[in-house]
Amino acid sequence: MQMTILQTSGWDNYELLDSGNGYRLERFGKYQIAKPDPQAIWLPRLPKSDWGEADAIFEKKDGKEGWIKKGEIPEKWEVTYKDIKFFAKLAPFKHTGIFPEQHLNWDFISEKISSRKESVAVLNLFGYTGIASLVAAAFGAKVTHVDASKSSIAWARDNQMASHLEDRPIRWILDDAVKFVAREIRRGNHYEGIIMDPPIYGHGPHGELWDFSKSFPELVKLCSELLSSKSLFFLINAYAISSSAIMLHNVLRDYLPNGNIEVGELAIKEKNNSERMLSTGIFARWTL
């Protein structure tokens, strides 16, 4: 088993400026935001004056939590990665719709699809705002994007228009991931690439319960039946769970005894500190 730390310093439109005291300070495009990160229990390196320049901060006061805007920050603004454009928003639960460390996986996806001259079908489960789907489509894949949230799919379609990829073959499916995959098996469909970013807990559009510890192994088993004989990859990301990447390796190996598995952590390096990193989640990549 190979354990890896995939680390990034960001790119032109994103930087981790600082972290500490339970917060992270980031720049998305031309706007700076500060939001909680419970693992950042160390001391920040930048002075308070720099943190005070944030255009918005996510705070919890008097039992309420939400974004406090300090500058003229719009409802949404465009962020670019290479040729892909997408919108950042100050969404509830601290999110902006962008997980910047994922650009390392976007590069992985694009490289794998580019390596295949023939048609590639990619399934993106729990696809959220669709950036991975857009990357796959931009490099020629036929993409099926599945999410249980209408608002997330609407956001993803806005990102598709921002990237001028309206003509690319992307199916936007509002559905429960487990139920959708089970139906695809019955239909006899297969995919060369599968991506999933499962939450800890969640609900499908009709109240279906998702519990990572119970539902994840079942979904991996089903997805192993969806992979074609010419499969390229199976990519899994997991956030805010109490297990290590070793768990992802063990579950994948249960149902995919052949092929290579790489697992580890995703991390962002601070702009002005070449040594300090902020871990953001765990990942697993299966390839033949």
How do residues 150-205 score in pLDDT, each as one tens digit? Answer: 999 999 999 999 999 999 999 999 999 999 999 999 999 999 999 999 999 999 99
Q: Is residue 36 part of a domain?
A: no
Q: What percent of the chain has pLDDT over 70?
A: 100
Q: Is residue 225 part of a domain?
A: yes
> Whole-prediction pTM value?
0.96
d(CA 185, CA 17): 45
DSSP 3-state of 135: helix
Q: What local confidence, expressed as pLDDT, does residue 153 receive?
A: 98
Q: What local confidence, expressed as pLDDT, does residue 51 receive?
A: 97
State how beta strands 233-238 and 277-287 pair.
Answer: antiparallel
User: What's the rounded mean pLDDT across residues 132-141?
Assistant: 98
Q: Are 281 and 247 in contact (CB under 8 A)?
A: no
Q: What local confidence, expressed as pLDDT, does residue 273 receive?
A: 76
Q: What local confidence, expressed as pLDDT, does residue 241 receive?
A: 86
Q: Looking at the 3D structure of the chain, how many domains does it have? A: 1
Cα Rg of the chain, angstroms: 19
Q: Is residue 127 part of a domain?
A: yes
Residues 6 or more apart in contact with residue 45 via CB below 8 angstroms: 18, 20, 270, 272, 273, 276
State how beta strands 201-203 and 209-211 pair.
Answer: antiparallel
Q: Are 258 and 231 in contact (CB under 8 A)?
A: no
Beta partners for residue 278, in sequence order = 268
Sequence length of the chain is 288
Q: Is residue 20 part of a domain?
A: no
Q: Is residue 54 part of a domain?
A: no
- Give the model's confidence band at 257: pLDDT under 50 very low, under 70 low, under 90 confident, else very high: very high
Q: Are 56 and 67 in contact (CB under 8 A)?
A: yes
Q: What local confidence, expressed as pLDDT, does residue 84 receive?
A: 98
Strand order in the sheet with 56-61: 14-20, 23-28, 31-36, 56-61, 64-69
- Give the model's confidence band at 18: pLDDT under 50 very low, under 70 low, under 90 confident, else very high: very high
CB-CB neighbours of 269 under 10 Å? 17
* CA angle, 201 then 40 then 155, to 5°: 45
Query: The CATH number of the domain where 123 resides is what?
Result: 3.40.50.150
- Give the model's confidence band at 242: pLDDT under 50 very low, under 70 low, under 90 confident, else very high: confident
Q: Is residue 252 part of a domain?
A: yes
Q: What local confidence, expressed as pLDDT, does residue 274 receive?
A: 74
What does pLDDT average to over the chain? 96
> Residues 27-66: pLDDT tens digits?
999 999 999 999 999 999 999 999 999 999 999 888 889 9
User: What's the rounded mean pLDDT across residues 228-252?
Assistant: 95
> In Å, what is the CA distance from 215 to each residue of 21, 110, 135, 245, 251?
34, 28, 27, 17, 12
Q: Is residue 238 part of a domain?
A: yes
Q: Are 283 and 263 in contact (CB under 8 A)?
A: yes
Report the half-sphere exposure of 246 (CA within 13 A, side-chain side).
3
The boundaries of the domain holding residue 221 are: 98-287
Q: Is residue 165 part of a domain?
A: yes
DSSP 3-state of 267: strand
